[in-house]
Amino acid sequence: MELYDLLSAESVIEKLNVASKKQALQEVARRAARVTGLEERAIFDTLLERERLGTTGVGKGIAIPHGKLAGLDRPYGIFARLTKPIDFDAIDDQPVDILFALLAPLDAGADHLKALARVSRLFRDRDMCEKLRGSDQADALYGLLTEPSTSASHAA
């Protein structure tokens, strides 16, 4: 599974200006509702419930909130580049400035895990993270996120 399978140009938030984890999840849920056609509140509740199980702040300024929802026909991703880092209760106690939300159908099973693994691999690439942090143009971010990568195919 590649990121171009998960993202559309409308799925990219290039300058998310929020002050808290809750606000970030609300804004991501708002964009995800537009992209998926699902209720914003259902998306927010799903993401918040997952955070209650344990933080999705994976370290190095990155968070990957995720959840499964009824009514989706495939996995969806929402990428957000925050204008300023926020506390996300990350495992390394560092603030988060890159967020990638992953939403999957209730019955996604392995597809959900494959998508999560693919997103995690992307953000382990330090050069990619620097490029993403260095751009505040939605089309450039979308291009970076969806370009086929040779390292991604080797890491599978």
pLDDT score recorded for residue 127:
94
pLDDT-based confidence at residue 154 (cuts at 50, 70, 90): very low
Mean pLDDT of 40-48: 97
Calpha distance 137→142 (Å, rounded): 9
111 bridge partner residues: none
Look at the domain 3-145 and name its fold: Mannitol-specific EII; Chain A (3.40.930)
Calpha distance 135→24 (Å, rounded): 19
Where do runs of H (alpha helix) occur along 17-96? 21-36, 40-53
Q: Give tens-digit pLDDT for 75-104.
A: 999 999 999 999 999 999 999 999 999 999
Residue 66 falls in the annotated catalytic set: yes
With both helix axes pointing from N to C terminus, report the angle between 126-133 and 138-146 in degrees, rounded to the nearest 10: 170
Calpha distance 98→66 (Å, rounded): 14
Residue 148 has pLDDT above 80, yes or no: no
Give the tokens for residue 131: 């490029």
pLDDT score recorded for residue 151:
43
Listing DSSP states for 81-116 in one string gives: EEEEEE----TTS--EEEEEEEEEETT-THHHHHHH
Please answer whether residues 78 and 101 qualify as being in contact, where contact means their C-beta atoms are separated by less than 8 angstroms. Answer: yes
Question: What's at 47, amino acid-wise?
Answer: L
Mean pLDDT of 13-25: 96
By three-state DSSP, how is residue 79 classified? strand
> What are the sequence ranges of the domains in the chain?
3-145
Residue 13 has pLDDT above 50, yes or no: yes
Q: Give tens-digit pLDDT for 22-36.
A: 999 999 999 999 999
pLDDT score recorded for residue 108:
86
Residues 6+ apart with CB under 8 A from 76: 6, 11, 32, 35, 36, 102, 103, 104
User: Could you say which of 31, 66, 81, 118 is catalytic?
Assistant: 66
- pTM (2 decimals)? 0.91
Residue 62 has pLDDT above 90, yes or no: yes
